[in-house]
Amino acid sequence: MTARGTLRVYLGAAPGVGKTYKMLEEGRRRLERGTDVVVGFVETHGRPFTEAMLDGLEVVPRTTMQYRGSQFTELDLDAVLARRPEVALVDELAHTNIPGGAQAKRWQDIERLLDAGIDVLTTVNVQHLESLNDVVESITGVPQRETVPDVVVRRAEQIELVDMTPEALRRRMAHGNIYKPEKIDAALGNYFRVGNLTALRELALLWLADKVDEQLERYRTEHGIAKTWETRERVVVALTGGPEGDTLVRRAARVAARTKGADLLAVHVVRGDGLAGADPANLTRQRLLVESLGGTYHQVLGADVPRALLDFARGVNATQLVLGASRRGRLAQILSPGVGVTTTAESGAIDVHLVTHEQVRRGRLRLGRSGAGLTLRRRLLGFAVAVAGLPLLTLVLDTMRGEKALPSDILAYLVLTVAVALLGGLLPALVCAVVGFLLLNWYFTPPLYQFTIAERENVFALVAFVFVAVAVATVVDGAARRARDAARASAEAQTLATLAGSVLHGDNPLDALLERVRESFGLTSVTLLERDAEHAPWRIAAAVGGPPCTTPSDGETEVPIDDDAALVLRGHPLQAADRRLVEAFAAHAAIALRQRRLGEQAAAAGTLAEVDKLRTALLSAVSHDLRTPLASAKAAVGSLRSPDVHFSPEDTQELLATAEESLDKLTRLVENLLDMSRLQAGALAMTLQPVSVAEALPRAIDDLGPLAAGVRISVADDLPEVHADPALLERVLVNILANAVRYSPPGNPPLIGVSEHAGLVDIRVIDHGPGIPAADRERVFQPFQRLGDRDNATGVGLGLALSRGLAEAMGGSLAPEPTPGGGLTMTLTLPSADAAGSDRADPALLTHLDTRPAGKV
């Protein structure tokens, strides 16, 4: 069987850091060592230094594929497999293959090579990792449609970070070592900003650090290394389920916050028998507190609490351990050192913090129900057996006095005591042992019929009898109590598991939780009450079952959640042993109520925002943008119809032109409003087809009329057509040009430049007006917004918002950037018709095309 090949990944934070160069450099180094190396697929992007690294390397010819009338080149997987080199260089791990091939993704091609025993060197950028895709989009504003599952990269035997400072990368960009000159300004002003590159660099470093952590843990496990290696601060806080846990968690969070990047972990040790459980309500609250502080919560099983804590701490490579000071009293601490002292003594390199709290020396937390483990019926049965059995056994032994010695008599009484212990537990067995001791002393120990013992040997035998009887009775009673506790713990665990399932799968978590409480404890109604202040009246937040309680006193049991919330139960009094389980339910109910309120507030806020937005928009439109053209048109038509005034032909033409211009404004406004509403509703129809930019631009300029006089156009001769809707493209260009013309200074009209790169066509409308501050550049794309909202004569503010929406609907983007020397440049980016073919909505093709982030926001 062929051994699987090894994978080496060169990881970068952004395009241009040198991943492909490093991969080729490693390929050349291995070739010089005598390794059989071939280039399966390398994308140089026209960079001369990268192309120079291909000299001397064998390149497997690419395969050409036809797709919707266009030709594309891809990795020829079959040719590489047939060549069977030792090492294959395959660039762009996250690349999406052209539809029609054997695999949809290039990483799947690489898996085939690895399975064939071929070592592979490849490259990937951090923005293409599936887990970080949305994070990168939120930082850069550029969606990355090509992704690779993290597990594919994590399985690599080697991952090398190709790093470069943002300033150095921008210098490379400015020198033309990454993109062509026409793309440099757009890239530097958008994707390749210093802030973006710094954030991407940190993401790459953190992701790789997690990978290194996995390798370190695997190495420590394989070599049996238990000693703590302080590679990163990890603070572990031990929780017992007591009320002091909140204090410990906050203290541990402060300790972790002192070191950047430190991890906070909370752990609760469950005893091996599962019986001495902590308060579920406290643990639930403390778990939420830990998670809100950015930590993680864990539970481990262990009979020896100090050993379990230290094993967990060493297992996660913890550097500090936070414990609460002992709740036990002085006498108990003298008899046993306790968890804190024992853990500190055995912690080794782990620093242990013993934190004081309000529960110090108040005694252990009593969670179970006190009392014997056996039922009253069994204890009474034990007493009955002792009362009847002792006289009967004495009579039988007395009739056999000459045949049995004292040791045999003692054993007979011991058997009876053990039987009583098995039936009735500790107290009946103690009574049986004491009475049996007295009967043995009176009837069978010389001198007879006296409470005296002549021989020392008999004294030892009788004392041993009492000791054994008491010991056996204690063991039996303890076993019965533990069996009862085990049954209760199992029932509580099952109830909590059912609770979690009903809450997770229910449409209304709060009602589902309260209904589970009612069913579990056989109640008639369960009510969650709340109030605004201490003396304010109670109100019903949620209720299930029969008539709800309006005050805590209406029910048989009240379980306070906090000062202003309580869970009230009606049906029958709650047993003391069940109260802590109900408290856990109450804690979950408070969380569910809080989530419901937050959801209601978010929904109400969203509704109010939409209503206010619509109201403001309508008022703005009606106040001027609808009224002004209507008034102008009406005035012009009214003047022409007036019988009292006779106008010359020139005046008549001027009035008609005024009316026509006003009606055109009104028509454009209504069309923008309608198109914006259709766009937001997803009902805007479009027909995507090849469109010539060189023909669309003059039509857009003509639509603007005299306002666009002097606009300059610079279009490359070999510019490909764009993949767009002709009418919508013209609408977008008109809106952008109108905005640029309006703010251009006299004598310096806007310039339109068009260029193509990597399957994308950039239409740049450049003006030298006042520009837009960086903080306000996204505001201009909000509907019904004008910069400053000070001038009602410049339109309702839909033009740029509609333009961006239309551009994105056609698979493109619209982004602002400052013009060097002052002003604003609007860049409309659309896929070229050559790259998109004739496909109008093929997501696979769009992901294939969208590989370059330059010039996009």
* 279-288, 320-329, 406-415, 787-796: segment of lowest average pLDDT: 787-796
pLDDT at 507 over 60: no
Residues 762/827, Cβ–Cβ less than 8 Å? yes
**What's the CA gap between 6 and 135, in Å, rounded?**
30
- The token pair at 14 is 């952004």
Residues 802/676, Cβ–Cβ less than 8 Å? yes
Query: Could you report the per-residue pLDDT of 449-468, keeping only the tens digit for each?
Result: 787 776 666 677 777 777 87
Res 32: pLDDT: 92
Query: Could you report the per-residue pLDDT of 550-602, keeping only the tens digit for each?
Result: 988 888 888 888 778 888 998 887 766 677 677 777 877 887 787 777 777 77
Could you tell me which residues are beta bridge partners of residue 41? 90
What's phi and psi for 758, nearest 5 deg?
50, 45
Please count the CA atoms within 13 angstroms of the CA of 521 that sit on its side-chain side.
32
Res 59: pLDDT: 93
pLDDT at 151 over 60: yes
* 146-160, 309-323, 470-484, 733-747: segment of lowest average pLDDT: 470-484
Q: Which residues are CB-contacts of 320 (< 8 A; sequence separation ≥ 6)?
A: 233, 234, 235, 236, 255, 350, 351, 352, 353
What's phi and psi for 649, nearest 5 deg?
-55, -35
Helical (H) or strand (E) element with 815: strand 813-818
pLDDT at 83 over 60: yes
Strand order in the sheet with 557-562: 539-545, 525-530, 565-570, 557-562
User: Which residue type is seen at 316?
Assistant: V
Query: Could you report the per-residue pLDDT of 41-59, keeping only the tens digit for each?
Result: 998 888 888 889 998 899 9
**What's the CA gap between 343 and 349, in Å, rounded?**
12
Average pLDDT over the chain reads 78
Report residue 88's pLDDT band, with 50, 70 and 90 as the boundaries: very high
Res 497: pLDDT: 62
User: Which residue type is seen at 649?
Assistant: P
Q: What's the rounded mean pLDDT across residues 368-391?
A: 75
Cβ neighbourhood burial of 404 (10 Å; 0-12, 13-18, 19+): middle
Cβ neighbourhood burial of 645 (10 Å; 0-12, 13-18, 19+): exposed
**What's the CA gap between 716 and 754, in Å, rounded?**
7
Report residue 292's pLDDT band, with 50, 70 and 90 as the boundaries: confident
Q: What's the rounded mean pLDDT across residues 459-478?
A: 76
**What's the CA gap between 794 and 372, in Å, rounded?**
87
Q: What's the rounded mean pLDDT across residues 516-531?
A: 84
* 162-176, 703-717, 732-746: segment of lowest average pLDDT: 703-717
Res 803: pLDDT: 79
Q: Which residues are CB-contacts of 288 (< 8 A; sequence separation ≥ 6)?
A: 591
Q: What's the rounded mean pLDDT across residues 202-217?
A: 75
Helical (H) or strand (E) element with 181: helix 181-189
* 389-398, 419-428, 707-716, 785-794: segment of lowest average pLDDT: 785-794
Angle at 431 between CA 426 and CA 435, to 5 degrees: 150
Q: What is the pTM of this model?
A: 0.39
Res 619: pLDDT: 55
pLDDT at 24 over 90: yes
**What's the CA gap between 235 and 262, in Å, rounded?**
7
Residues 308/339, Cβ–Cβ less than 8 Å? no
* 119-128, 339-348, 472-481: segment of lowest average pLDDT: 472-481
pLDDT at 853 over 60: no
pLDDT at 260 over 70: no
**What's the CA gap between 563 and 257, in Å, rounded?**
31
**Which has more confidence, 191 or 836?**
191
pLDDT at 336 over 70: no
Query: Could you report the per-residue pLDDT of 227-238, keeping only the tens digit for each?
Result: 555 556 889 999
* Cα 401 off chain centre by: 82
Res 683: pLDDT: 52
Most confident residue range from 78-87, 726-735, 743-752, 846-855: 78-87
Strand order in the sheet with 7-12: 58-59, 37-41, 87-90, 119-125, 7-12, 158-162
**Which has more confidence, 132 or 112?**
112
List the one residue out of 281, 186, 238 whose CA is nearest residue 590.
281
Helices and strands per DSSP (H, E), number in the chain: 27, 24
DSSP state of 498: H
**What's the CA gap between 166 and 192, in Å, rounded?**
8
Question: Helical H runs in 223-369?
Answer: 245-257, 280-292, 305-315, 330-335, 338-346
Report residue 783's pLDDT band, with 50, 70 and 90 as the boundaries: low
Pairing of strands 37-41, 58-59: parallel
Residues 544/511, Cβ–Cβ less than 8 Å? yes
Q: What's the rounded mean pLDDT across residues 59-66?
A: 90
Give the three-class secondary structure for 236: strand
Count of CB atoms situated within 10 Å of the CB of 430: 19
pLDDT at 802 over 60: yes
* 43-47, 665-669, 753-757: segment of lowest average pLDDT: 665-669
Report residue 726's pLDDT band, with 50, 70 and 90 as the boundaries: confident
Cβ neighbourhood burial of 553 (10 Å; 0-12, 13-18, 19+): exposed
Question: Is the preceding peptide bond at 649 cis, omega within 30 degrees of 0?
Answer: no
What's phi and psi for 437, nearest 5 deg?
-60, -45
What's phi and psi for 803, nearest 5 deg?
-65, -45
Res 857: pLDDT: 28
Count of CB atoms situated within 10 Å of the CB of 211: 18
